[in-house]
Amino acid sequence: ADDRADLVELGYNLMTAADNRIRPEVRKNASLFRDGLQIALLALRPFRKRNFASLEIGKHVVRVDGAWWLVLSRDETKTRQPVEVPFPQQLVPALVRYLEEYRPLLAGSRYTGSRLWLSYRFTPQAAHSIQLQIVARTQEAFGKSINPHLFRDCVATSIAIHDPENVRMAALILGHRSFATTERYYNLARTLEAGRNYTKVIAQGREKARRSSRKRPK
C-alpha cells in the first residue's frame, strides 16, 4: 500500500462491511465504520494524529453554505499556520452517515460532547487508540502495518503523481513550513513516475520485438 488509493479503498471496504452488518453487535459495526472513515479521510487529508484525534463537530468539522470543511486555527497547528481545507467530496456521504447513524451508537446516552471520533467505551477516542486501530486494520489488509504518520509520506508522493493541481493544498495539510518541502516530494514523485513509465515502454518494446521475431519465417 504505497499509494493513497489503496488506503482509500481499504476505508471504503471497512465502511461497506459495517453497512452490511457483518458484526452481530451494532456498536461493533459502528466502530468498524468509524475506522474505515478515519483511514479514508487520513489518506486524503493527512492531518497530524493529535489534530486528527481532537477534531470537534462545529469547531473543526464545519458546514458552510452546504459544504463541509476541515478547519484548524494557527494555535492548533505545529507550524502555527491555520488550515482550512474542504472535506473530501467523495467522503461527504460517509461523514453524514457516521454523524447521523454510527456516532450516536458510539455515544449512547453517556457522551454529549462534540468530539468527532468516539471509542467503543462511550468516550472520545485518544490519538494512541486511533493509531492502534489503523495499524491493526492496515496490517490485516496489506500484511504490513501503516501508522498515521506514514500516511503523510504516502499522500505527499501520491498527490504529486495523481493530483498535481492540488499539490499546494498538500503543503497546507501536511503542515510544511514552505511549499519547497512539498515541491521536493513532487519532483521526486515525478522522477519516479517517469522512471516507471520508461521501464514500461522498454518492456513493451522488448515484448513487441520478441513477438515480431517469432513471426519471421525460418
Q: What is the pTM of this model?
A: 0.75
Residue 115 confidence (pLDDT): 98
Beta strands in 73-123 (DSSP E): 83-86
Asked whether residue 12 carries a pLDDT value surpassing 60, the answer given is: yes
Residue 167 confidence (pLDDT): 54
Our measurement of the distance from residue 159's CA atom to the centroid of its chain's CA atoms, rounded to an integer in Å, reads 12
Q: Which amino acid is at 54?
A: S
Beta bridge partners of 83: 72
Convert the pLDDT of each residue in 77-105 to its tens digit.
887 888 888 898 999 999 999 999 999 99
Convert the pLDDT of each residue in 143-168 to its tens digit.
999 998 888 777 655 555 555 555 55
